[in-house]
């Protein structure tokens, strides 16, 4: 009896399959970045050197770093608590909590910012609640300052901070926490000695991602902040629309791109979920 021939699917690897995505990447990413570098580094990089000595850039860079760090720290604290709640919650409650965490993704950034502007204004709901509770006797200035900017940015960044930490927590073996409790450890000790160390890779990834996202904010400082809260993205807009200096704006974009590249590289080199998975 003759044996029927066996047909085995062989993978077809063709460089032509990469052609569409390569062309799309070149047109939408590489080409614009190349134009920005060409304009920004024109005249032997004189625009870059002038910007590095600009007091305006130094002020905007300081605002960006400070606001981004504050936003990152607050987002990490809230994200750790939310991640722990998601980790310990049952399936039904976890689904409801995930819906609230994902809600900012489903809402446009302009809608979120204008909503916070309505809530934080002098006759807004927050000032009204403070006066009803007797905490204040007159409206408090909550809008057009750094506090409002941080609130709006935390609201936007929080989902980005939650998922890396929750992913790290979900990889923790439940037997480790049960063993710690069985050995007499209190809930605080379990969190401090077991959960927190095993969540550190997720916390590091969350911190870098939150900082990278925060450093590029443009709309929130414009709507919720004051002119003194200008960030580097707002400075690029100022060079383009107010000074009409496209070479200077391109040089500034080059500086921002190079400065943000380091945390992006660090974020990409962090261990993945499989490297800090279950023990």
| Contact call for residues 105 and 159 (beta carbons, < 8 A) | yes
Residue 144 has pLDDT above 90, yes or no: yes
Q: How confident is the model at residue 100 (pLDDT cuts 50, 70, 90)?
A: confident
DSSP summary character for residue 122? T
Examine residue 44 and state whether it is found in any structural domain, yes or no: no
Over pLDDT 70: what percentage of the chain?
A: 91
Per-residue b or e along 169-196, where b marks 16 or more CB atoms closer than 10 Å to that residue's CB = bebbeeeebeebeeeebeeeebbeebbe
Whole-structure pTM value: 0.83
Cβ atoms 110, 182 nearer than 8 A: no
Residue 4 has pLDDT above 70, yes or no: no
Residue-wise pLDDT for 48-93, tens only, equals 888 888 898 899 999 999 999 999 999 999 999 999 999 988 888 8
For residue 24, tell me if it sits in a domain: no
Number of domains in the chain: 1
Domain assignment present for 209:
yes
Domain holding 259: CATH number?
1.10.3720.10
The pair of structure tokens assigned to 12 is 């077809």
Q: Is position 73 within any domain?
A: yes
Cα(257)–Cα(103) distance, rounded to whole angstroms?
30
**Domain membership flag for residue 19:** no
Q: Which domain holds residue 218?
A: 54-276
Average pLDDT of every residue of the chain: 86
pLDDT in tens, 125-138: 999 999 999 888 88
Top-confidence residue, 105 or 114: 114
225 found inside a domain: yes
9 is a domain residue: no
pLDDT for the residue numbered 278: 44
Q: Give CA separation, 255 vs 4, 43, 52, in Å.
A: 65, 16, 9
Say if residue 7's pLDDT is above 70.
no
* pLDDT 10s digits, 182-225: 888 887 888 888 888 999 989 998 999 999 999 989 999 999 99
What lies within 8 Å, CB to CB, of 223 at 6+ separation is 110, 113, 114, 117, 152
Among 120, 157, 167, which Cα is nearest to 142's? 120
Do 236 and 253 meet the contact criterion of CB atoms below 8 Å apart?
yes
Q: Is residue 15 part of a domain?
A: no
Give the separation between CA 144 and CA 224, rounded to whole angstroms: 5
CA distances from 258 to 7, 81, 132, 255 (A): 52, 33, 49, 5
């Amino acid at each position: 009896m003759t044996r029927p021939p066996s047909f085995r699917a062989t993978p077809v690897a063709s460089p032509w399959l990469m052609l569409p995505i390569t062309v799309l990447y070149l047109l939408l990413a590489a080409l614009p970045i190349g134009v920005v570098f060409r304009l920004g580094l024109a005249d032997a990089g004189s625009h870059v050197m002038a910007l590095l000595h600009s007091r305006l850039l130094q002020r905007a860079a300081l605002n960006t770093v400070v606001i981004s760090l504050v936003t990152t720290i607050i987002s990490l604290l809230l994200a750790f608590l939310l991640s722990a709640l998601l980790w310990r919650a049952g399936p039904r409650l976890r689904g409801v909590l995930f819906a609230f965490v994902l809600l900012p993704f489903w809402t446009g950034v302009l809608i979120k910012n204008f909503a916070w502007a309505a809530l934080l204004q002098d006759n807004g709901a927050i000032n009204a609640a403070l006066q009803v509770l007797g905490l204040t006797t007159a409206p408090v200035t909550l809008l057009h300052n750094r506090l409002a900017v941080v609130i709006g940015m935390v609201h936007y960044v929080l989902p980005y901070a939650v998922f890396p930490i929750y992913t790290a927590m979900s990889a923790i073996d439940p037997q480790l926490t049960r063993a710690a409790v069985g050995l007499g450890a209190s809930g605080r000790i379990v969190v401090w000695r077991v959960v927190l160390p095993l969540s550190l890779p997720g916390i590091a990834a969350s911190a870098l991602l939150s900082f990278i996202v925060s450093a590029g904010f443009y709309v929130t400082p414009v709507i919720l902040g004051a002119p003194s809260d200008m960030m580097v993205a707002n400075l690029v807009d100022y060079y383009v629309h107010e000074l009409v200096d496209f070479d200077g704006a391109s040089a500034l974009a080059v500086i921002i791109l190079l400065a943000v590249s380091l945390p992006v590289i660090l974020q990409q080199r962090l261990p993945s979920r499989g490297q800090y998975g279950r023990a």
